[in-house]
Chains A and B, each alone.
Chain A
Amino acid sequence: MKFGVVQFPGSNCDYDTHYALKQVLKQDAVLLWHKEHDLKGVDCVVLPGGFSYGDYLRAGAIARFSPLMKEVKSFARNGGLVLGICNGFQVLLELGLLPGAMLRNKNLKFLCQHVHLRIENGATAFTRAGKEGRVLRIPIAHFEGNYYAPPQALADIEKKRQVVFRYCDAAGRVTEGANVNGSIHNIAGVMNRAGNVLGLMPHPERASEALLGGEDGRVIFESIIQGFAAPRGRGAKPVRTRARHDQ
């Protein structure tokens, strides 16, 4: 399976992500410069963490205008798999591929620590190798990860089971205490309605080797790889219609 990791000026997890995919998971992986127009035939696009354009204006707000994002948008609209990690998640929100927006962390602190996540939906292209209710331990590193969606959009994504991960405690309880950044409904990761675009604040690429403190992040990459290897028709269905909140 071929992955493409997009590089913006200010991306700083691009090589970590490329390393995890290529060296740890043994997949084909290429770096894609944001100024290009070519996705180089990849099967999955990954928008990595970092501070694209210095987080000027709003996190992810300028990166969304990069030439390559036009290609990524049509790739996603046609059912291609897109994974946004941290700043990549913020870019997907600004791009309108995912519902909601990011606010500063509730305590106004940059948070760099391990957190626990509960898999809320185990039947997605990004979690099929895991199981609903499984608790993952993955690090976060962000200032603007306080996920917000207006009431109607929030009700919508809950109903359609688009919440893929929630912050929880080590036992898997979704509590206010475990909600490190103040995200609405403890949301740590959300996908689009069609199920082919996922954004999450935690960094699975930083949790892909035991040597570096844990391998829980691998389940997300392994799910994508498994789905690709599965017979045709089992993957995410191509979408051509736009959900209202995707605007």
Chain B
Amino acid sequence: MRVRILVSFKDSVLDPQGQTVKNALHTMGYSAIKDVRQGKVFEVELDRVTKKDAEALIAEIARKVLANPIIEKYTWEFIKSPSGK
């Protein structure tokens, strides 16, 4: 099974990269863009685990490694593997 994990800055933390992208979009005339937050995406392939164990495992690695909980938050979802599983 495959999981997509999204790590981004907490709302309370300034995201200079997102701000820069937003400014660039404004410069190009996309005035409807109100805000941009930039993050990181991880796609993790899991093997031989139940869905329930996978949920616990993903939460653990997101908290311990993929995100720095002081400045970042994370969300995740199960996605379709290229193999179709």
| Residue of chain A at shortest CB distance from B12 | A150
Whether B70 sits at the interface, judged by CB under 8 Å, is yes
Q: How many residue pairs, one in A and one in B, have C-beta atoms under 8 Å apart?
A: 33
A149 to chain B, nearest CB (A): 8
Whether B20 sits at the interface, judged by CB under 8 Å, is yes
B12: chain A residues at CB < 8 Å are 150
Q: Is the CB of A104 within 8 A of B16?
A: yes
B65: chain A residues at CB < 8 Å are 57, 61
> Would you list which residues of chain A between 160 and 189 have a CB under 8 Å from chain B?
182
Whether B81 sits at the interface, judged by CB under 8 Å, is no
B17: chain A residues at CB < 8 Å are 104, 108
The one of A108, A146, A148, A149 in contact with B20, judged by C-beta atoms closer than 8 angstroms, is A108
Whether B46 sits at the interface, judged by CB under 8 Å, is no
Whether A120 sits at the interface, judged by CB under 8 Å, is no
Please measure, in the bound complex, the distance between the C-alpha atom of A107 and the C-alpha atom of B23, giving whole angstroms. 13
A94: chain B residues at CB < 8 Å are 68
Q: Is the CB of B16 within 8 A of A148?
A: no
Whether B62 sits at the interface, judged by CB under 8 Å, is no
A58: chain B residues at CB < 8 Å are 68
Q: Is the CB of A150 within 8 A of B70?
A: yes
B66 to chain A, nearest CB (A): 7
> Would you list which residues of chain B between 45 and 85 have a CB under 8 Å from chain A?
65-66, 68, 70-71
> Would you list which residues of chain A between 74 and 116 have a CB under 8 Å from chain B?
94, 100-101, 103-108
Q: Is the CB of A101 within 8 A of B16?
A: no
Q: Is the CB of B68 within 8 A of A100?
A: no
Q: Is the CB of B68 within 8 A of A103?
A: no
B17 to chain A, nearest CB (A): 7
Q: Is the CB of A103 within 8 A of B71?
A: yes
Q: Is the CB of B71 within 8 A of A101?
A: yes
Footprint of B on A, CB under 8 Å?
57-58, 61, 94, 100-101, 103-108, 146, 148-150, 153, 182
A-B contacts, 16 of them at CB < 8 A, read A57-B65, A58-B68, A61-B68, A94-B68, A101-B68, A101-B71, A103-B13, A103-B71, A104-B17, A107-B16, A108-B16, A108-B17, A148-B70, A149-B70, A153-B70, A182-B14
Footprint of A on B, CB under 8 Å?
12-14, 16-17, 20, 65-66, 68, 70-71
